[in-house]
Amino acid sequence: MMKQVLIGILCGAAVLTAGILIGHYGIAKGNGSEPLDIVHGPFRLQTVNYPKHYRIKPFFILIHLHRELTKVPHLATTAGDEQTVQLMLKRWQDPETGLDQAWREEYMVYLSFPDPKKPNKVTVGESLEHQNKSYTSDQDDPEVVQPYAAFSPAGQPKGKLVYANQGKPSDYQKLNETVDLRGTIAITRYGGAGRAAKAINAAPYGVIGVLVYTDPSDINDGLMSDSNETYPHSWYMPPSGVERGSFSTNYGDMLTPYLAAKEETYRIPVENITGIPPIPIQPIGFEDAYKLICDVKLDIFNHEELKNSSNVMGVIRGSVEPDRYVIYGNHRDSWVHGAIDPSSGTSVMLELTRVLGMMVKQGKWRPRRSIIFGSWGAEEFGLIGSAEYTEQYFTKLSERTVAYINVDIAVFANATLRASGMPSLQNVIFKAAKQVYAPGLDSTSVYDNWIRYANRTSSTHGTIPKVGYLSGAGSDYAAFVHYLGITSMDISYTYDKSKTNARIYPAYHTAYDTFDYASKFIDPGFVSHQAIARTAGNVLIRLADSLVLPLNCSDYAETLEDYLNTAVTLYQPKLQLPIIVLSFFISRHVIWASSSAGQPTFPGLADAYASAESSGHSSAWAKVHYHLSVLSQAIEGAAHTLVDVI
Amino acid sequence: MMKQVLIGILCGAAVLTAGILIGHYGIAKGNGSEPLDIVHGPFRLQTVNYPKHYRIKPFFILIHLHRELTKVPHLATTAGDEQTVQLMLKRWQDPETGLDQAWREEYMVYLSFPDPKKPNKVTVGESLEHQNKSYTSDQDDPEVVQPYAAFSPAGQPKGKLVYANQGKPSDYQKLNETVDLRGTIAITRYGGAGRAAKAINAAPYGVIGVLVYTDPSDINDGLMSDSNETYPHSWYMPPSGVERGSFSTNYGDMLTPYLAAKEETYRIPVENITGIPPIPIQPIGFEDAYKLICDVKLDIFNHEELKNSSNVMGVIRGSVEPDRYVIYGNHRDSWVHGAIDPSSGTSVMLELTRVLGMMVKQGKWRPRRSIIFGSWGAEEFGLIGSAEYTEQYFTKLSERTVAYINVDIAVFANATLRASGMPSLQNVIFKAAKQVYAPGLDSTSVYDNWIRYANRTSSTHGTIPKVGYLSGAGSDYAAFVHYLGITSMDISYTYDKSKTNARIYPAYHTAYDTFDYASKFIDPGFVSHQAIARTAGNVLIRLADSLVLPLNCSDYAETLEDYLNTAVTLYQPKLQLPIIVLSFFISRHVIWASSSAGQPTFPGLADAYASAESSGHSSAWAKVHYHLSVLSQAIEGAAHTLVDVI
């Protein structure tokens, strides 16, 4: 409907305009035939009207002129440019073939040039210098301007290289979600965004410099070799070719917008110029770009083998309840020397067994329950020794084991105790920690020291040290917790998190995890090793020797309530979480499964939710649904056990 | 409410459990006091109960044991591992300090090792080899296992390096929106995702190999130098340190899940193993990572200068309407030799002026209207010469100029004509193109050749060659179109787009854009140059010499209607585009402004919309609103001109 109106208006306007034009220009001659010179003139199908010499070698002069024009580089305002000015004037003022009039118009304009004495450089290890490889003498002309981005500011930024596609706003925006762009140099390819835009778009993200190259897939139909593919063998750009250009968004002289740039013209302050790169930018050839966007080759020769791996097992038999086990474990294998991982824990275990063994051998002591010591093999390859052990003795262990104590890395650093475990063990650990001096502090207990570094407010106990959850699969407790469902703990001495952001002790799994390293930097004097040996030994004796097992169920209940609150807070708004009844008898698999989501709530649910949120796949949301079902059915089943008699 | 129920159940369960435990274990002895060995035993505050030598040098033995354990690398199942097995057995079987019993449990498990004879390599230019630099003799031990990712498949992938943050699913997903990950090697840092996950997450995107390094900011509080910061000067990881590890998602022996890996145990087929890297992955030190994630330095020494830039102007005065101008322009300056950009167009212009000038000088011909030739300076720096010219002569030019013909690059390649311009010029171009032979084809016109390469269906004319829009600012037509609002066109000979994906001719703006290149690969014999000279000359004479200006307004109307349709289709659903009345008199600035959105519709609106869609910023959507207002007010204003008398 609107279109009809539109077309009507347009047609009316067209007719009106035609009328005006005819009236204004057409009346004088009055006839509509084409002037003769179009029909028979020089720019028709035939060249019959051309002068004789011209007919013989049509447009020979054009080639000659082209050769003249391209003899030297003629960058604006250079001597080469002036040569072409003179050529134009000579031709247009020629008495036989010139125009009625020809002249020069001069403007004083704001341009940007590289410094011939200080060539722009891109350095990575060594400078990249393969620009303008010579195939003809043209490239050897000293007037060939070095590759540069006109109007790029000077500067010497240095930073990590990040590939930013075409430097579009969306490229930087998306990239910044993966990579912190602050302080980086972005390498971009031509296309998609204007030259200046590649730098203008980058700057708000903290990028400090930009490179731009011409991708062979955008310009060369993918061809790259100058030995037989690119110029001088074809029209394709050679590897060292660099596309220069003006890196400005606007056109015309920048200092005199909307005014002719005559010498006396008012010029705006340079700092008011807009639309130019705020950070240095430089064009490079794809040869150099490909050195930067490193083409990396991996030669990986790993192989798999079936090998015999050993656990070493040791036992102190219980005096009263020999068929109740407290298991204490540490893995023995390491990636290299393993001074911290695991030998800190192995030496602690050997010291414990030495002291306890001596008392047993001397007849001075024997624990109420049996103590099993496990020196696990091949932990580093995936908790293999402990997992195989639990698989082999599954029934016996799950029926008879009271608790599992894991001391893998005994000492990460010497600031404070760190403990993770089932909440029911919390009180045992606290009691033990109160009976041991903190390393280097003769009047402060491990407990009093610990509470300064990590504490929380318990609804039952007030302020207490914070015991972590064993929700990962970071050491040999995993099979005991997730497979056997045994109450477990893991303790170590560790660092002051306010003093370092280290993810773990820095020599972890490297060839520097040596006795030298451990004794000089991790625990000089091995005082923290002592503290861990005493604390772990104290816990071990409490568990193996107490009349009543010191497991506190109400602490467990407090944690489960926290889990429920967290799940409701995090997931109910999105999932319409069904109202579920929790119980103490909920399957431990559901509560203590391995988790990577980092949320203190039901791990299976938390992991599935995190994965679904990240991927958005419907199959991932289906898994959330599955975990909700597992959770609610486990809980409902447990509730029936409590409520119904039959 | 649910919480109260929960807590009730939990407390009940806790009391019940405590009762059960007491009943089961506690009855035999019946008293709740702590066993003596906790109060006075070895793991208390004081070490009073320790043997004499032990009290003097507390835990001296622990240090000794630690030294023993860490003397040699003890990777699982190696000779070093067996040494520690023997150590454990000797200690635990010691008659004086050993346990009741100690033994070895063996499992035959599936492990992964590097090949000592073919070390894993990462190559970029040269191999990276600075791994495990020696600070103590420990690193020189031939048993130090080379850095590798246990359970990484062997393989030798080669590809471009892409930084993929922590290798999380979201990292690869977001990255893949910016970078095509197929065939790449991803470099990741430790953390955020499990070791194996970094490769497992990568594979679906076509990544063929993964590197993982320990970032100094994650492990070393940013410290990097081993001359005074890292080990051996502190606990921090030295630059060549490499974190080894098991790259598996599950734990326990992979071939015997839920079964102990005894020699005779059933093993699943190797190909059924899940949770290991599907593509090769290798850990490296940050020293090598930083070589790969190139720390690039730019040294940019550009400077700005005020320089004199010249246009060269020439005129053939009109015989009947000397105050009506047809302007023909080409820029003269180039980045280097500029054989194609712009000398192809300059030589064409010089040939045209030579032929026309000769006829004028011989008194054979003079055009009806004046022809102005412009040889623009400093186009490459931002269309400066043409822009300054239009600024200087704004009033005269906008009042008197009939049309502007731009021939910048005359010949990109020799396949077909390419023309862009106001729709009103379409018919002039068609007429000219019908009167010139296509280069190398003596019986086919430029028009007939052109229509094979680029055509469209017009509601008025049927199938015709496709004339492009002058919506960018790619050459000197910009100031005439966007600033003066003059009917303009740009023509050239160009390539067959079905034969190449080149964004532009490959030597564009490089030092290889030379006479040699042009005459060998772009236009041997300069036949396409001739065709452009004839076609452009024919158009020029039609515009300068026709009795009635051959501008076709109905072609203009057809295009505007297409614009409206496009705008409605693209934007109305989202913007509730107001119903607007278009008219022929709409400001040309609004219709022909510079655009980068690539949509054949009102450029200001299209660009603003594209930018708003990309950024999502409210300020960007405000700009869309602004452009809608400009558009509707311009159109309404024009409509009033047509409709209202006063």
Report chain A's mean pLDDT, rounded to a whole number: 83
- Chain B contact probe: residue of A117, A151, A302 with most B CBs at under 10 A: A302
Torsion of CA B609, B611, B617, B623, to 10 degrees: -50
Report chain B's mean pLDDT, rounded to a whole number: 83
Which chain A residues are closer than 8 Å to B259 by Cβ? Answer: 391
Contact status, residue A148 vs residue A244, Cβ threshold 8 Å: yes
The pLDDT value recorded for residue A265 is 85
Q: At what angle do helices B60-69 and B79-92 cross, to 10 degrees?
A: 150
The pLDDT > 90 percentage for chain A reads: 50
pLDDT-derived band at A473 (thresholds 50, 70, 90) equals: confident
Alpha-carbon span B399 to B408, nearest angstrom: 25
Task: Specify the residue for token string 């090792």.
Answer: B113
Alpha-carbon span B221 to B240, nearest angstrom: 16
Q: Of the ranges A581-595, B367-381, B627-641, which one carries the lowest mean pLDDT score?
A: A581-595
Alpha-carbon span A229 to A237, nearest angstrom: 9
* pLDDT tens readout for residues B73-86: 989 999 999 999 99
Q: Which CATH architecture has domain B312-551?
A: 3-Layer(aba) Sandwich (3.40)
Contact status, residue A557 vs residue A424, Cβ threshold 8 Å: no
Task: Specify the residue for token string 């010579």.
Answer: A134
Alpha-carbon span A457 to B358, nearest angstrom: 100
Helix segments in A393-445, DSSP class H: 394-400, 426-434
Average pLDDT of the segment spanning B136-165: 91
Distance from CA of A194 to the nearest CA of B (A): 9
- Subunit contact B111:A307, Cβ cutoff 8 A: yes
Beta bridge partners, A330, equal A375
pLDDT-derived band at B585 (thresholds 50, 70, 90) equals: very low
- Subunit contact A309:B473, Cβ cutoff 8 A: no
* pLDDT tens readout for residues B467-497: 998 877 889 999 999 888 899 999 999 999 9
| Mode of pairing for the β-strands spanning A401-406 and A321-331 | parallel
- Chain B contact probe: residue of A309, A417, A505, A569 with most B CBs at under 10 A: A309
DSSP, collapsed to helix, strand or coil, labels residue B481 as helix
Distance of CA B235 to the CA centre of its chain: 39
The pLDDT value recorded for residue B61 is 77
* pLDDT tens readout for residues A501-520: 888 999 999 999 999 999 99
Give the residue among A320, A542, A337, A566 at the shortest CA–CA distance from A429: A542
Q: Which CATH architecture has domain A122-131+141-292?
A: 3-Layer(bba) Sandwich (3.50)
pLDDT-derived band at A395 (thresholds 50, 70, 90) equals: confident
pLDDT-derived band at B127 (thresholds 50, 70, 90) equals: low
Distance from CA of A473 to the nearest CA of B (A): 8
Q: Which is catalytic among the residues A143, A379, A391, A636?
A: A379
Q: DSSP letter at A423?
A: G
Higher pLDDT, A66 or B346: B346
Alpha-carbon span A391 to A16, nearest angstrom: 95
Which chain A residues are closer than 8 Å to B233 by Cβ? Answer: none
Asked whether residue A483 carries a pLDDT value surpassing 60, the answer given is yes
The pLDDT > 70 percentage for chain A reads: 82
Q: Which DSSP helix (H) or strand (E) runs through A325?
A: strand A321-331
Distance of CA A274 to the CA centre of its chain: 33
pLDDT-derived band at B42 (thresholds 50, 70, 90) equals: low
* pLDDT tens readout for residues B525-550: 899 999 999 999 999 999 999 988 99
Which chain B residues are closer than 8 Å to A50 by Cβ? Answer: 355
Q: What are phi and psi of B50, to 5 degrees?
A: -70, 155
Higher pLDDT, B128 or A248: A248
Contact status, residue A196 vs residue A277, Cβ threshold 8 Å: yes
Average pLDDT of the segment spanning A283-308: 87
Q: Which CATH architecture has domain B122-131+142-292?
A: 3-Layer(bba) Sandwich (3.50)
Contact status, residue A72 vs residue A141, Cβ threshold 8 Å: yes
* pLDDT tens readout for residues B55-106: 333 445 778 888 888 888 989 999 999 999 999 899 999 999 899 999 999 9
Distance from CA of A455 to the nearest CA of B (A): 22
Q: Answer positive or negative: Cα dihedral of B279, B283, B288, B294.
A: positive
Q: Can you give the residue ranges of every domain in chain A?
A: 1-33, 122-131+141-292, 312-551, 557-643
Contact status, residue A631 vs residue A590, Cβ threshold 8 Å: yes
Beta bridge partners, B510, equal none
Torsion of CA B588, B590, B593, B595, to 10 degrees: -140
B380 among known catalytic residues: no
Give the residue among A170, A198, A169 at the shortest CA–CA distance from A186: A198
**Distances in whole angstroms, Cα of residue A214 to Cα of each of A166, A188, A240, A286, A573:** 10, 9, 10, 6, 49
Find the residue in A nearest to B366 (Cα): A37
Average pLDDT of the segment spanning A559-567: 76
Asked whether residue B558 carries a pLDDT value surpassing 90, the answer given is no
Alpha-carbon span B180 to B202, nearest angstrom: 12
The pLDDT value recorded for residue B32 is 33
Q: DSSP letter at B494?
A: E
Average pLDDT of the segment spanning A320-343: 94
| Mode of pairing for the β-strands spanning A303-316 and A321-331 | unpaired
* All residues at 6 or more sequence positions from A629 whose CB lies less than 8 Å from its CB, including other chains: none
The pLDDT value recorded for residue A378 is 93
A558, two tokens: 């407090």
Q: What are phi and psi of B306, to 5 degrees?
A: -85, 120
- Subunit contact B614:A299, Cβ cutoff 8 A: no
The pLDDT value recorded for residue B344 is 95
DSSP, collapsed to helix, strand or coil, labels residue A454 as coil
Higher pLDDT, A42 or A335: A335
Helix segments in B26-59, DSSP class H: 36-40, 52-56
* pLDDT tens readout for residues B20-34: 444 444 433 433 334
Tell me the residue length of chain A: 646
Task: Specify the residue for token string 């250009």.
Answer: A245
Option in B74, B158, B260 nearest A334 (CB): B74
Average pLDDT of the segment spanning B589-596: 54
Which chain B residues are closer than 8 Å to A508 by Cβ? Answer: 219, 237, 243
Give the residue among A12, A23, A40 at the shortest CA–CA distance from B547: A23
Distance from CA of B210 to the nearest CA of A (A): 9
Q: Which is catalytic among the residues B34, B321, B379, B391?
A: B379
**Cα Rg of chain A (Å, integer):** 40
The string of DSSP letters for A5-59 reads HHHHHHHHHHHHHHHHHIIIIITTT---SPPHHHHHSTTSS--TTS-HHHHHSTT
Higher pLDDT, A375 or A295: A375
Q: Which DSSP helix (H) or strand (E) runs through A458?
A: strand A455-458
Which chain B residues are closer than 8 Å to A541 by Cβ? Answer: 35, 37-38, 41, 43
The pLDDT value recorded for residue A446 is 96
The pLDDT value recorded for residue B125 is 67
Alpha-carbon span B89 to B77, nearest angstrom: 16
* pLDDT tens readout for residues A410-459: 999 999 999 999 999 999 999 999 999 999 887 899 999 999 999 999 98
Size of interface A-B (CB pairs under 8 A): 1068
pLDDT-derived band at A585 (thresholds 50, 70, 90) equals: very low
Does the interface ipTM go beyond 0.85?
Answer: no
**Distances in whole angstroms, Cα of residue B592 to Cα of each of A13, B78, B488:** 19, 76, 11
pLDDT-derived band at A48 (thresholds 50, 70, 90) equals: very low
* pLDDT tens readout for residues B397-441: 988 999 999 999 999 999 999 999 999 999 999 999 999 999 988
Higher pLDDT, B277 or A579: B277
Alpha-carbon span B273 to B187, nearest angstrom: 25
* pLDDT tens readout for residues A195-240: 999 999 999 999 999 999 999 999 999 999 999 999 999 999 999 9
Q: Of the ranges A565-579, B121-135, B584-598, B627-641, which one carries the lowest mean pLDDT score?
A: B584-598
Helix segments in B382-500, DSSP class H: 384-392, 394-400, 426-434, 446-453, 477-478
Asked whether residue A157 carries a pLDDT value surpassing 50, the answer given is yes
Neighbours of B525 (CB within 10 A): 14
Q: Of the ranges A436-440, A489-493, B185-189, B614-618, which one carries the lowest mean pLDDT score?
A: B614-618
Contact status, residue B542 vs residue B432, Cβ threshold 8 Å: yes
Distance of CA B189 to the CA centre of its chain: 21
Give the residue among B149, B194, B148 at the shortest CA–CA distance from B168: B194
